Structure 1
């Protein structure tokens, strides 16, 4: 599969990664010695950090919509932002360690730091541990229930890179891990895990199935050659009907989460704002689906990245509900 003309060549002279945006801050501003490690953490492609952070924002905002924002919520938001950057970096580092042979065989990924020789496996392991320890310092500032949830997520992070070897549904494992922040942030505010947080998490999982199936269509030809499984390969020409199903499931689960959290504990204005946010979020997903061409890798990448905006739309409405 050739690289779309809008993207850099797989191994650019400065060592940048093929699917990183042109002129990103790592390639242009970061000290040269740090660039391979920042690329390993995907700091040159912040969309993953956003997609890890957004469920956290949903979680704390929905919890706050029940009983109001507290000063500590500002730390929950900041801590989750820092934690998303660090733990996404650690997870991507682990993913690249385990996938280094696959990455070397795929056009889009062979320019990553390990297969391109910018970083050794030993150096990557040290970098992963350092990021994880920094993330742990933030986690331990939350309550004990949230800490337990954070520690529990490590098993999902460890398993995810291997999922595409044994299941056609690796996106489910990604969704389980990437949306764990909805549980953690909600619990960091509420002090306990409640049903609305679980429904929010489940809605995030179906959302991940939506956006990561779009993302996986970039690599489906190479994945078929090397035997890597994905929902993109599984669905094939039937991808759009499947994505419509994920869209509907996401909206139903998110509406249930908002209704269960707010119907008896908040005013009608708060509930209306939350539900309006879910529908605005759903509109964005429907727009993506209307623009999708699974045979156009550049468009798949663009639509995948727009999910940051979709998720932030809902986060803003939930924040407004908390302030209503």
Structure 2
């Protein structure tokens, strides 16, 4: 029977697993026979480190999607707790709902008062059901907007963390105004005076990501993805076959490298070898350093300058052609 750790391994990590199993076998044998195998173990560990680097430096878009969805990848709450000096979660959209798929509140980062918010997935099946797999309802986006208005009123920078396959697409979501709630956030985020830094920490999907994604700076972890639609949905629409998701992932240009080249994001945050779930502390340190650097730059500007920067940033996205 597979161990829990083994069940979380991705298909492309198999060569690494075999090496690690070999290292453990050598150690077990040395204990039984009382033989010094330190040199052999050192060589095997070096080989394993090399294989890990090779694997994670050559991931396809489809494989990056798997990494972005890894159940142990750090979540919004993980990063908030790691980078903030203190933190208090705030609840409710003041219209009768409190969507657990979006969390947010006030805190301090390096002594600076900020508002932090983002999508929150679960760690197990029960938690994922509670948080609807990070797919927010209209109430979630209205809660986020309430917190951002609070930040603007009190002059606190806004830090958002994006990690969702898409907004919730259920009947009730449409009934309670999903499209209107996201559109309202897109409009209102452009008028805010305070600095806004958005970071794609896992999966950024469709309007569900954009609902908290209008920022002066948009950062993205190296193995995260950001897309107009989940590749499975795209494949189902274009080819009527969700199994062609890897092909769709390639065509959609969902990787950080592609998106930086297209001008969608501003900075790629390097991940530890083996991705953020292999060393969450190092990932959080990298994120905090980048956020503080961008905050220093943005706080040197006036509110009007930031609004204009934000507006022009998004106006430059995309290419328009006119048919003759």
Q: Report the TM-score when normalising by structure 2.
A: 0.29
* Higher RCO, Cα 8 Å, sep 6+: 1
Q: Which structure has greater helix proportion?
A: 1
Q: Rg: which structure is higher?
A: 2
TM-score by length of 1: 0.29
Q: Which has the higher strand share?
A: 2
